[in-house]
């Protein structure tokens, strides 16, 4: 019963948002004794631990770090402090600003009289938000340092790989040794009312797709390579970090990446977390853009057929010079140079654009036909018959799954 009560209590805390937004970041600003003391005394910091990171060898200790402090053959670890903090009580921005003001980040492999690569200035981040704030604040602080006559910032900004706690006697050293070594290496240059400019995105209005990704997310990279890099649809698609969203109304809690979000006028309509196969993505785009109850969606994904001489056919049968794109993926499927009037009531082409479609045997409804499918989106386009003039093939295509683009617009884009 106690376990059940504890579980319910924790569930309530999580559901009401009362659990602290705990984050971890690691700073290197010279001898870690003073750095640890500085951050431990900041309100909102839960714990500060001295240690080592940033090197290329395993299991460093104080002796090996000192041994390699002047080495040019091996990447040494630096003396750092791992800071665990409650972001609801101290912002990441305030914490990183405090780091810059704590020491002189222009000295390279030293801080004051402490010389060696183990004393180099460094920030090791654990999420994309920390990375962006670190990089943006560095640019801002560089301007302030330049005004004060200081040189170029040499701070290392990298993702945290592995943190090695320092020996026990180094932990809380100045608490145990109140008169211990604790030099002040700060430049005296402080942030005032400067605003750190972090890249954000706001709703475009209308329908749009946002892909939330993260650094070192292999499924994000795979989704980018297989899907978003090839996407040419007319629904705008952008990729961003979770913290960059401003002004969007989310109903889904983002708990993994990639997360694909479909918005209309800034309000979430649909979301998918995790890797999404190409065909599944385009089916979701079809439902989002066309509507699941629309004729176009019914044709594309339920293998239905436009009505003969339908409204969209009438709009497309006499267009000027140009191409017809897949309404879902944006791929060019047919060219007006291959179009002809078959008087059938459906758009007719002698052929499709090379490599844009797939032909598949279709024996449905007691007939033997060849189905034409959009290669990328998987949308049903129509059928191909051997009854065109001159003994050629007739690609009989549904108009509701296409979009027309004048050739002059394509040429204009190519020049831009």
Write down the pLDDT at residue 10: 38
CA distances from 373 to 55, 175, 323, 342, 382 (A): 53, 72, 17, 21, 7
- Whole-structure pTM over 0.75, yes or no? no
pLDDT over threshold 70, residue 396:
yes
Work out the percent of the chain whose per-residue pLDDT is above 90. 77
Burial of residue 205 (number of CB atoms within 10 Å: 0-12, 13-18, 19+): exposed
- Catalytic annotation, residues: 31
pLDDT at res. 13: 37
At residue 219, does pLDDT exceed 80?
Answer: yes
Instruction: Output phi, psi for 191, to 5 deg.
Output: -75, 145
Domains (range + CATH), the chain: 19-176 (3.30.1060.10), 207-276 (3.40.30.10), 302-415 (2.170.150.20)
286-317 pLDDT, tens per residue?
999 999 999 999 999 999 999 999 999 999 99
Task: Look at residue 366 in the predicted model and tell me its pLDDT.
Answer: 76
Strands (E), 197-273: 207-212, 237-240, 259-264, 267-273
Q: Give tens-digit pLDDT for 114-131.
A: 999 999 999 999 988 999
Give the distance, in angstroms, between the CA of residue 301 and the centroid of all CA atoms in the same chain: 29
Q: Tokens 């979301």: give the residue.
A: 271
Residue 58 has pLDDT above 60, yes or no: yes
Query: What does the pLDDT read at residue 1?
Result: 41
More confident position, 352 or 16: 352
> Does pLDDT of 47 surpass 90?
yes
d(CA 304, CA 321) in angstroms, rounded, equals: 28
Calculate helix-pair angle for 295-302, 278-290, nearest 10 degrees: 160
Strand 122-125, strand 156-159: pairing: parallel
Residue 3 confidence (pLDDT) above 70? no
What is the mean pLDDT of the segment spanning 224-233?
A: 94
């Amino acid at each position: 019963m106690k376990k059940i009560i504890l579980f319910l209590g924790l569930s309530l805390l999580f559901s009401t948002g009362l659990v602290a937004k705990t984050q971890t970041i690691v700073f290197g600003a010279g001898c870690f004794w003073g750095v640890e003391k500085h951050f431990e005394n900041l309100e909102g910091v839960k714990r500060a631990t001295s240690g080592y990171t940033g090197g290329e060898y395993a299991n460093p200790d104080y002796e090996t770090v000192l041994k390699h402090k002047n080495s040019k053959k091996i990447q040494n670890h630096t003396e750092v402090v791992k800071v665990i903090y409650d972001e609801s009580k101290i912002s990441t921005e305030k914490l990183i600003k405090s780091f810059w003001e704590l020491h002189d980040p222009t000295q390279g492999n030293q801080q004051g009289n402490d010389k060696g690569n183990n004393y180099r200035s460094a920030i090791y981040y654990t999420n994309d938000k920390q990375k962006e704030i670190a990089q943006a604040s560095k640019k801002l602080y560089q301007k302030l340092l330049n005004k004060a006559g200081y040189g170029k910032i040499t701070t290392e900004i990298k993702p945290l790989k592995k943190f090695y706690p320092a020996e026990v006697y180094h932990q809380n050293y100045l608490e145990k040794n109140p008169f211990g070594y604790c030099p002040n290496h700060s430049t005296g240059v402080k942030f005032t009312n400067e605003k750190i400019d972090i890249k954000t995105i706001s709703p475009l209005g209308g329908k749009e797709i946002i892909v939330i990704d993260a650094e070192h997310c292999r499924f994000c990279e795979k989704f980018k390579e297989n899907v978003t890099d090839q996407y040419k649809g007319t629904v705008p698609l952008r990729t961003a970090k979770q913290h960059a969203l401003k002004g969007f109304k989310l109903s889904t809690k983002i708990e993994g990446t990639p997360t694909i979000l479909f918005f209309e006028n800034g309000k979430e309509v649909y979301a998918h977390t995790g890797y999404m196969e190409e065909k599944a993505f385009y089916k979701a785009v079809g439902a989002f853009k066309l509507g699941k109850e629309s004729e176009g969606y019914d044709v594309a994904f339920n293998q239905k057929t436009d009505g003969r001489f339908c409204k969209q056919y009438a709009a497309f049968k006499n267009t000027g010079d140009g191409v017809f794109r897949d309404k879902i993926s944006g791929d060019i499927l047919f060219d007006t140079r291959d179009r002809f009037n078959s008087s059938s009531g459906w758009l007719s082409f002698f052929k499709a654009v090379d490599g844009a479609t797939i032909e598949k045997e279709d024996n449905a409804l007691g007939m033997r036909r060849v189905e034409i499918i959009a290669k990328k989106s998987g949308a049903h386009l129509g059928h191909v018959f051997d009854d065109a003039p001159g003994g050629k093939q007739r690609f009989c295509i549904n108009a509701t799954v296409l979009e027309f683009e004048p050739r002059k617009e394509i040429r204009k884009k190519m020049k831009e």
